[in-house]
């Protein structure tokens, strides 16, 4: 079950000695109000504090709500002085969870390396894109997650608002994720344990994934303009099935890219939502009569969202070595059962695509082999 949490930053109390304005007292009242109108089992409150708030909250009482109240601290504040470190221990003795939340990952690294016990490390989503900065961000986060795991500290990525961010969270290996991608955005973040199914199954990867990706790149097809040959294949496939959508899909490391698309406006999707990412792991044509009734796809956003995919049939596009580059597929928005003749047509059209891409790859390899060796200066 997903957790739903309320984040709150308390204002400085007008009357410091008034127990009703203490952050814990207000926080407990917030939870009590939530419990009165909702199921309490998966509700919690996170109070975000700065260093000067620590002594105030350490003087309060959790009174039965302790296990459901977390105190979020910045790593830079915890590092700033010894009283802050002592306050962390006091908070935990009170039964409160202590979360380390900071964009300054080097500070978080120093806190963990210093042996301070933290109940959860929260890190932000890495930079988007495929440039050097994004790759470096990912490496730093993986290292931080690895250190936290070695210390037995659970980790969470915040800001997981789209498919790319969810993929980054899984790549970093965090235990939990929070963001709009994981549930309806109602002003309250949904926390999901990534070891469990989130919105769709984690897509498996073929056994020889690195070799398969090299074959994809050798084919020199990704991000190339439309070509009549492949457009004719999708036209014939759509006609054979009387289906509104037909695609030549090439499965890259993190996306599926469409060399030809008929009936679909987008040029690519994330690999994580791709039906074709499942197909490339299958030995034969993959048929999904009704995705809404298939456990692999019933919660896939391509099924539950505005696209409304229901029927899918995909034939593998393979190299002569048996590596699958992608698929030729047809999709419909109503359930259906294909005939054997339709499946045979799809297989034959996929073979044509396989031959065309194999020729591309051979030309590319020959060109590389013919290049003169580099000489030293």
User: pLDDT 10s per residue in the chain (377 long)?
Assistant: 334 444 444 444 444 445 444 555 555 555 455 455 554 444 445 555 555 555 455 444 444 444 456 667 777 766 655 555 566 666 667 666 777 776 677 777 777 777 677 778 888 887 764 445 666 777 778 878 887 887 888 888 888 777 677 777 877 878 887 777 665 433 344 444 444 333 334 456 787 887 888 888 888 898 899 999 999 999 999 999 999 999 999 998 778 999 999 999 999 988 888 999 999 999 999 999 999 999 888 888 899 888 999 999 999 999 999 999 999 999 999 999 999 999 999 999 999 999 999 988 888 777 766 666 545 44
CA distance 87 to 316: 59
**What architecture does CATH give domain 3-193?**
Alpha-Beta Barrel (3.20)
> What is the pLDDT at residue 2?
37
pTM of the predicted protein model: 0.50
Q: Where are the alpha helices (DSSP H) in 242-339?
A: 275-279, 301-304
CA distance 197 to 202: 7
CA distance 21 to 25: 7
Asked whether the domain spanning 209-368 has the same topology as the one spanning 3-193, the reply is no
Q: Which residues of 279-301 are buried (b: 16+ CB within 10 A; e: fewer)?
A: bbbeeebbbbebbeebeebeebb
**What architecture does CATH give domain 209-368?**
2-Layer Sandwich (3.30)
Q: Any idea which residue has 């919105």 for tokens?
A: 199
Q: Where exactly are the structural domains of the chain? A: 3-193, 209-368
Q: Are 230 and 262 in contact (CB under 8 A)?
A: no
């Amino acid at each position: 079950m997903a957790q739903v949490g309320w984040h709150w930053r308390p204002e400085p109390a007008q009357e410091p000695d008034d127990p009703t304005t203490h952050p814990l007292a207000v926080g407990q009242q917030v939870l009590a109000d939530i419990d009165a109108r909702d199921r309490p089992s998966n509700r919690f409150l996170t109070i975000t504090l700065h260093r000067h708030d620590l002594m105030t909250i350490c003087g309060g009482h959790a009174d039965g709500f302790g296990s459901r109240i977390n105190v979020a601290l910045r790593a830079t504040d915890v590092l700033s002085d010894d009283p802050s470190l002592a306050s962390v221990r006091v908070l935990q003795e009170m039964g409160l969870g202590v979360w380390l939340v900071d964009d300054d990952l080097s500070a978080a690294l120093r806190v963990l390396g210093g042996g301070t016990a933290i109940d959860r490390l929260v890190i932000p989503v890495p930079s988007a894109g495929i440039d050097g900065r994004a790759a470096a961000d990912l490496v730093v986060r993986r290292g931080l997650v690895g250190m936290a795991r070695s210390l037995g500290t659970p980790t969470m990525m915040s800001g997981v608002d789209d498919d790319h961010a969810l993929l980054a969270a899984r790549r970093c290996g965090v235990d939990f994720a929070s963001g709009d991608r994981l549930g309806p955005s109602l002003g309250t973040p949904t926390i999901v344990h990534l070891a469990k199914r989130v919105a769709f199954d984690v897509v498996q990867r073929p056994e020889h994934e690195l070799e398969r990706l090299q074959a994809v790149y050798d084919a020199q097809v990704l991000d190339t303009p439309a070509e009549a040959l492949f457009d004719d294949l999708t036209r014939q496939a759509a006609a054979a099935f009387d289906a509104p959508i037909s695609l030549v899909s090439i499965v890259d490391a993190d996306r599926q890219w469409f060399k030809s698309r008929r009936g679909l406006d987008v040029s690519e999707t994330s690999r994580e939502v791709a039906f074709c990412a499942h197909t490339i792991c299958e030995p034969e044509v993959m048929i999904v009569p009704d995705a809404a009734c298939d456990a692999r796809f019933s919660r896939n956003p391509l099924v539950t969202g505005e696209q409304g995919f229901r029927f899918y049939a995909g034939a593998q596009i393979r190299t002569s070595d048996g590596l699958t580059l992608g698929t030729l597929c047809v999709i419909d928005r109503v359930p259906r059962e294909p005939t054997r003749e339709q499946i045979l047509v799809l297989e034959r059209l996929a073979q044509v695509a396989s031959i065309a891409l194999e020729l591309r790859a051979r030309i590319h390899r020959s060109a590389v082999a013919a290049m003169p060796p580099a000489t030293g200066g």
